[in-house]
Amino acid sequence: MVISSFSFGFASMARLGLIAIAAVISVLCPMRSALAHASGQSFVMLLPTGVYTVTGVIVVGLTIVLLAATPPGGLSRLIKPRALFSMPRSRRVIRFIHALAGVGFFFLIMRGVQGSTDPLRNPLPLGFWVVFWMALVMVEGLLFSVWSWLNPWVFAYHLMRRTTRWQVKRDWPRRWGAWPAVITLFAFAGFTLADPAPNDPLHLARVIMGYWLFTLTGMLLFGFRTWSRHVEVFSLFFAWFGRLRMLSVKQRQLCLGLPGWQIFQLKTPAQANTGLSSAIFVLMMLGVGSFDGFNETFFWLGWINVNPLDFPGRSAIIFQTLGGLLLANLLLVAVFGMLIWLGHLAASDTAYLHHRLADLIRAYAPSLLPIALAYHIAHYLPSLLVDGQYVLLMMDGLMGSDVHLLGLGGFHVTDGFFKHQDTVRIIWLTQAGCVVTGHVLSVLLAHHIAGGFYHNRWETMISQMPLAFFMVAYTWLGLWLLASPKGG
Amino acid sequence: MTNQPKKILTPRRQVIKGIAAGAALGATSIPLWGRYAQSQSSEPIKIGFQVHRTGIGAAYGRWYDRTTMAAVAKINSEGGINGRQVEIVSEDDGTDPKRGAEVVEKFATQHNTDLAFGTLFSHVVYGSAPRAGELKIPYFVVSEGHHVASGALNRYTMQPGITDVKSQVQAMAPYVASTLGKKVTMIYPDFAFGHDHRDYFSAAIEREGGTVVEKIAIPPTETSFTKYFPKIPRDTEVIYHVMVGPAVLTFVKEMGEFFGSSRPEIFGFIDSLEAVDLSSPGLEFLEGTYFWEGNPRYAQANQSEYDKAYRAAVGVDNNGASVSDSKDVATYAHMFGCWETLHIVKAGMEASGYRGTGDRAKLIEAVEAMTDMPHSHAHPQGAKRFNGKTHQVFGHQYITRVSNGRLELAHTTSIEDTLYPDETDYTTQSF
């Protein structure tokens, strides 16, 4: 009875939800990777993407020009947050949710081991890749914090410490910084892009469980916070994207500001609030996101001598993918470092005496976060729109195939929005809008950061010219990636 | 579609005799056999479904999955196979040959499925079939590839539910030559897929008294085609195109712009526009052109009751789109192969008295013994003729013409049009 009334209540809601999703889909339809037959990308290739790209690049360029004309302090006022109201905080509620997250985590692992072998019917791959990795990263960056609630180590860590009275005894070597996190980010990106079967439920369960144990061990040895800040990839990933939210709670006050205001909360921009390793981590967030997209283009596939129309499968290009991933990140760090150093030299012939390159990278790296988040959204939106339907179906059938918790009996997953030019155009423009907005925000943040290094408008403007070139070029790259024919 | 078969699923006599003898022996002379048989009969038949969930085959995989689930629901609602329900164990192969071989191995060693089934992309078939042979698990592919019939694979690999590209292409030649024209220019992607079309069609059209006046190979990474169209000879009567990939709509658009209102006859394979709504902007140029279709996407005037029931079961409307989203056009020309293959598995298991994995060889022998299959609810695409020696089925092909944005049936080939001499005899291989 409970189930039937529950499902009745949800049936109408779910159908309404599906109608809403269909409406959203019809507006936001992006493209999945190229298929053997005509796909969404086929329709993209009929669009005047060249015109759209030039327009996007001009928008970013105009932002740079406008900033040059903005009076000093104007941007600071924009970025400064405003406190709205105080937020209640209940430790009991938080503990309960952490316990729930821990139980949910093990439920997913169990389903990965024992559930359906079909990745689009198993809660683990759907939960991890679609809900967590695709959707919740977006939620964290745009709406509200989710990682602090769903972190699957909090409950286990505190439970183990209390039951065993374990004391953390080791100090984190300062020279290690967050370099281990750089390695774990590369490892995770490698798993995402190069592993032949990252969706396989059992394989995924083993990998996640292995990482969970590795992390819990590290936390018990070095402490929860220390490990989270120096090694654990998701804590850092979500923490950095979380700093882009317009709304956030600081000292129990809900505050509102321009995306990125949280980056500047702790210290002055010039001092930066991060070590070099953390800055490299941030650059890699963008590097990984950029390569995950570039690696599907005809350009890349041609470069590694793969016929995109006869893609041999991920197994055949594991080393090429890992090599490309590494190169893309090295290239990004090198080019970014070189350009901000050039700008710094051009702005002041004495300033370089006071600031090392590492200081500049540390300060400027967070300015790229909006682009990284924009790439994440633009890249995963297509998959989310299709695979999100599988998530709904999975949830609908959690109680068995005969019980439809969400009233979705007879519902069929669709990708019809990839098959019509009108919807494809709207989707592409939505993705492009995301990319351009990300770059505009990055330009604003970089300009604000520069304001902390230089004390007159002229020097600030000169220092930003190489970086402006970078932003414009990266806008072009992002839009080119969206418009390019893809395979693989 | 209307051709009636002479025989219906006729297994070889010795197979039936052997099965009957085995059943009699089992029922009477071994005391524990009855209990074993009982426990076997209560367990489901497990079919390993090697599905392209990710990778370049994912869009096809979604419809293969939908068709497979519909077929299994039908079979189970009709009592299953030998009184046992059918259970599908799906594994994503990532449209990856190496991963495909691993998936087949999982079916054989971890899931202990009775057989493996469902692979579409031929390079995955080619990568997986050797492992199926080594592990001695029947591998029923739905690929269209000529690999099976060419003799390159093994006795455990069969393609009984969908015709192969060689037979499809050669069956087009008689109609093209007699109705559209004898001087053909071929435009195809410059890799194995396109080369198959080039080679098979060139040979077939010459047998019909026609000639291929120009072969225009397009590099796979090409995205603009205007520089290739001037290579089309002026005396071309028919253009045969089989472009695939993300630039295919650009190809159609640019071809339309090149020819304007004066064009030769145009014939293509629906693979180019599978799952694309033909009323899409930019495709107006295709009006009046012809396509091969494995199974007509649009319900035709002479629609059979079998096609009607099949569409209803899978959830496809009369325009070939999902009943829940008219924009979601199905991969209708290919996916029937899953439906028909599963019905052949059922027929093979029932004919061989299949009880468990120990009877895998019997299942293969039973399928090898099949010949003609009637147009029926089990074979909604049309009648088929299976060649037990080459493990390849042959069947009617459909040529449709774009008319008011719909594909209207213009010609149905005979099964004889699709036949070619055997290139192998798998039955000579031991199990």
Asked if residues A485 and A45 have their Cβ atoms less than 8 Å apart, the reply is yes
Under an 8 A CB cutoff, do B96 and A416 touch?
Answer: no
Pick A36's closest partner by Cβ from B56, B65, B321.
B56
Closest-CA distance, A324 to chain B, in angstroms, reads 19
Per-window interface: B 240-299 vs A, CB < 8 A: 244-250, 253, 271-277, 280-282
CB contact under 8 A, B59 and A118: no
CB contact under 8 A, B274 and A38: yes
Residue B47's identity, in one-letter code, is I
User: Which residue from A279, A316, A285 is spatially nearest to A301, judged by alpha carbons?
Assistant: A316
A415 Cβ under 8 Å from any chain B Cβ:
yes
Would you state the pLDDT for residue A72? 65
> Taking phi first (over 0 means left), then psi (-120 to 50 degrees means alpha), and beta for anything else, what does residue B209 get?
left
CA distance B310 to B332: 11
A36–chain B nearest CA distance, Å: 5
A297 burial via Cβ count (<10 Å: 0-12, 13-18, 19+)? buried
Nearest by Cα to A225 from A235, A217, A237: A235
Question: What angle do helix axes A233-242 and A369-396 make, rounded to 10 degrees?
Answer: 110
Q: CB of A208 within 8 A of CB of A107?
A: no
CB contact under 8 A, B99 and A313: yes
Distance CA B317, CA B320 (A): 5
Q: Smallest CA–CA separation between B11 and chain A, in Å? A: 34
- The DSSP code for B325 is E
Q: Which of residues 416-455 of A touch B (CB under 8 A)?
A: 416-417, 419-421, 423
> Minimal Cα distance from B93: which residue of A?
A197
B196 — contact with chain A (CB < 8 Å)?
Answer: no
Sign of the Cα torsion A339, A344, A345, A346 reads positive
Burial-class residue A332 by CB neighbours within 10 Å (0-12, 13-18, 19+).
buried
The Cα–Cα gap between A241 and B9 comes to 62
The pLDDT score that the predictor gives to residue A198 is 95
Q: Does A19 touch chain B if contact means CB atoms closer than 8 Å?
A: no
- Chain A contact for B94 (CB, 8 A cutoff): yes
Q: With an 8 Å Cβ cutoff, are A315 and B59 in contact?
A: no
Contact A315 B60 (CB under 8 A): no
pLDDT digits (tens, 9 = 90+) for B311-349: 999 999 999 999 999 999 999 999 999 999 999 999 999
For residues A468 and A336, what is the distance between their CA atoms, to the nearest angstrom? 11
CB–CB of A441/A41 below 8 Å?
no
Residues of A whose CB is below 8 A from B276: 37-38, 42, 419
Chain B interface includes A120 (CB < 8 A): yes
Q: What share of chain B has pLDDT > 70, as a percent?
A: 90
pLDDT digits (tens, 9 = 90+) for B176-233: 999 999 999 999 999 999 999 999 999 999 999 999 999 999 999 999 999 999 999 9
Residue A254 CB neighbours (<10 A): 15
Instruction: List chain A residues with CB under 8 Å of B121.
Output: 36
* Cα atoms in the 13 Å half-sphere on the side-chain side of A25: 26
Question: Is residue A299 within 8 Å of A484, Cβ to Cβ?
Answer: yes
B185: β partners: B214, B239
Which residues, numbered 102 to 161 in chain B, qualify as contacts with chain A under a Cβ-Cβ cut-off of 8 Å?
102, 106, 111, 121, 123-124
Q: Name the nearest CA neighbour of B193 among B214, B226, B220.
A: B220
B55-80 in b/e burial notation, b at 16+ Cβ within 10 A? Answer: bbbbbbbbbbbbbbbbbbebbbeeeb
Token pair of A251, please? 């000292």
Task: Please state, in angstroms and rounded to a whole number, the distance separating the CA atoms of residues A37 and A47.
Answer: 18
Q: Is B281 in Cβ contact with A421 (below 8 Å)?
A: yes
In degrees and rounded to multiples of 5, residue A487 shows phi and psi of: -140, -175
Contact B55 A411 (CB under 8 A): no
**Residue from A32, A37, A321 whose CB has the most chain B CBs within 10 Å, to mutate:** A37
Contact A375, A289 (CB under 8 A): yes
Which of A235, A228, A241, A287 has its CA nearest to residue A138? Answer: A241
Q: How far, in Å, CA of A418 to CA of A41, rounded?
A: 8
Nearest CA to CA, how far is B294 from chain A (Å)? 15
List CB contacts (< 8 A) between A307 and chain B: 191, 220-221
| Residue A425: C-alpha distances to residues A41, A389, A429, B64, B405 (Å) | 10, 22, 6, 28, 21
Q: What is the pLDDT of residues B11-50, one digit of tens each?
A: 443 443 333 333 333 333 333 433 444 444 579 999 999 9
* pLDDT of A274: 60
- Over 90: is that where the pLDDT of B357 sits? yes
Q: Does B317 touch chain A (CB under 8 A)?
A: no
CA A369-A370-A371 angle, 5° bins: 90
Q: Does A265 touch chain B (CB under 8 A)?
A: no
A485 touches chain B (CB under 8 A): yes
Residue B217 has a CB neighbour count (10 Å cut-off) of 16
User: What are the residues facing B87 on neighbouring strands?
Assistant: B46
Chain B residues within an 8 Å CB radius of A311: 55-56, 95
Flag if B193 and A309 touch (Cβ within 8 Å). Answer: yes
- Name the token pair of A411: 């519902």
A305 touches chain B (CB under 8 A): no
Residues of B in contact with A197 (CB under 8 A): 92, 94, 99, 102
Contact indicator for B366, B377 with CB cutoff of 8 Å = no
**Per-residue pLDDT tens digits of chain A, which is 488 residues long:** 233 333 334 344 444 444 343 333 333 333 333 233 446 688 888 889 999 999 999 999 999 888 888 776 777 777 888 888 887 777 888 899 999 999 999 999 999 999 999 999 999 999 999 999 999 999 999 998 999 999 999 999 999 988 888 887 788 888 889 999 999 999 999 999 999 999 999 999 999 999 999 999 999 999 999 999 999 999 999 999 999 999 888 878 888 888 888 887 755 444 444 689 999 999 999 999 999 989 999 999 999 999 998 899 999 999 999 999 999 999 999 999 999 999 888 887 665 557 788 888 998 999 999 999 999 999 999 999 899 999 999 999 888 778 888 888 888 999 998 888 888 999 999 999 999 999 999 999 998 888 878 777 788 888 889 999 999 999 999 999 999 988 76
Distance CA B369, CA B386 (A): 9
Q: Which two tokens stand for residue A238?
A: 């979500």
Residue A124 distance to chain B (closest CA, Å): 14
Domains and CATH numbers, chain B: 13-163+332-395 (3.40.50.2300), 165-293+396-431 (3.40.50.2300)
Q: Cβ-count burial of A47 within 10 angstroms (0-12 exposed, 13-18 middle, 19+ buried)? A: middle
In terms of Cα–Cα distance, which of B255, B286, B267 is closest to B181?
A: B267
Find out whether A488 and A306 touch, Cβ atoms under 8 Å: yes
Residues A127, A119: Cα–Cα separation, whole Å: 10
* A326 vs A187: CA distance, rounded Å: 11
Task: List helix spans (H) across B160-221.
Answer: 165-175, 192-207
What does the pLDDT look like over B380-407, one tens digit per residue?
A: 999 999 999 999 999 999 999 999 989 9
Q: Which residues contact B99 (CB under 8 A, 6 or more apart)?
A: A196, A197, A313, A314, A315, B93
Hey, are the CB atoms on A488 and B56 less than 8 Å from each other?
yes
Min Cα distance A15 → chain B (Å) is: 13
* Alpha-carbon dihedral sign for residues B252, B254, B260, B264: negative
The 3-state DSSP class for residue B55 equals coil
The answer to whether A398 and A405 are in contact (CB under 8 A) is: yes
Sign of the dihedral through C-alpha B75, B77, B81, B85:
positive
Q: B62, A415: Cβ pair inside 8 Å? A: yes
Predicted complex ipTM: 0.85
Nearest CA in chain A to B48: A117
Beta-strand pair A82-86/A253-256: antiparallel
Q: How far is B93 from chain A (nearest CA, A)?
A: 8
Residue pair B201/B195 in contact by the 8 Å Cβ criterion = no
What's the whole-model pTM score?
0.87
Of chain B, the percentage scoring pLDDT greater than 90 comes to 81
Q: Are A6 and A405 in contact (CB under 8 A)?
A: yes
The answer to whether A390 contacts chain B (CB < 8 Å) is no
- Strand ranges inside A321-394, DSSP E: none
Distance of residue B30 Cα from the nearest chain A Cα, in angstroms: 36
- Of the pLDDT bands very low, low, confident and very high (cuts 50, 70, 90), residue B282 is confident
Q: What is the mean pLDDT of chain B?
A: 90
pLDDT in tens, B146-162: 999 999 999 999 999 99
Mutate which: B311, B327, B334, vs A, most A CBs within 10 A: B327
Which residue from B107, B111, B45 is spatially nearest to B72, judged by alpha carbons? B45
Give 3-state DSSP helix, strand, coil % of chain B, rounded to 5.
Answer: 40, 20, 40
Is the Cα torsion angle A193, A194, A200, A201 positive or negative in sign?
A: negative
**Strands of A79-170, DSSP E:** 82-86
> How far, in Å, CA of A123 to CA of A341, rounded?
47
Asked if residue A451 lies in contact with residue A77, where contact means CB atoms within 8 angstroms, the answer is no
- Judge contact between A93 and A263, C-beta under 8 A: no
> In the prediction, which pLDDT does A175 show?
87
The size of the A-B interface in CB pairs under 8 A is 193
The pLDDT of residue B4: 39
Longest dimension (CA), chain A: 78
